[in-house]
Chains A and B, each alone.
Chain A
Amino acid sequence: MKFKAEHAGKWIVAKDGKIVAVDKTLTRVKKQVVSRGDFSELRFALVPRGHIAG
């Protein structure tokens, strides 16, 4: 899966390795996809803002 620079610090929703929704909060990104017929196939991730350590 590929995260673009614009995804940094945001929640994304992915299906089969492709990003289908992006938003600033988990609540908002979930609202974008909750009514999809394939909701059970989706997966959520918080993209790091940049380099992380620890």
Chain B
Amino acid sequence: MLFKYSQQQFADGGGMSLPLIPVTFRSKKHSIPTFALIDSGADVPILPIEIAGELGLKLNSKEKIEMNAAGGNKFYVYPSPEKVECVIEQKGFRSIVLRSPVYFAESASTILLGHNNILYQLRIVLDGAKKEVSVN
């Protein structure tokens, strides 16, 4: 599968190109189709906590895990009570279906695809010059 980077404009006139790919997250009862950022700097997939509600997942506040952000600040994530199906899709290609624990953050900046157990199962090539990402 080959995806073009998405473009983000900033208020100061600057911008970034981001390797966002279409991922549908599925629990036993519900699903939500999203765009998620390939993030090699994330140990695990981190989703905004609103998605836990969409998937009908009840989180246990006693199981929160401390994470460290790149700037040194700490934040907390809550593990999903069950593995979630993560389906990467593109028309004309067979979907890639992964099952992984995911983690929910109250202050998530976006939907992040981290190494364990998403990126570890994929072959991803980030072509910055072409602003394309291939996923297999």
- Contact surface of A with B, Cβ cutoff 8 Å: 1-5, 7-8, 11, 14, 25-27, 30, 42-54
Please tell me if the beta carbons of A45 and B9 are within 8 angstroms of each other in the complex. Answer: no
Asked if A14 meets B35 with Cβ closer than 8 Å, knowing A52-B110, A53-B41, the reply is: yes
Q: How large is the interface on B (under 10, 10 to 19, 20 to 34, 35 or more residues)?
A: 20 to 34
Are B10 and A50 in contact, with the CB atoms below 8 A? yes
Give 20 CB contacts A-B under 8 Å.
Answer: A1-B35, A2-B9, A3-B7, A3-B8, A4-B9, A5-B11, A26-B51, A42-B33, A43-B22, A43-B34, A44-B32, A44-B34, A45-B20, A46-B48, A46-B111, A48-B18, A49-B109, A53-B70, A54-B68, A54-B71
Type the 1/0 row for B26-44, where 1 means its CB is closer than 8 Å to any CB of A. 0000001111000001100
Residues of A within 8 A of B50 (CB): 11, 25-27
A1-B20, A1-B35, A3-B9 as given contacts; A47 in contact with B110, CB under 8 Å: yes
Give bound CA distance, A3 to B14, whole Å: 12
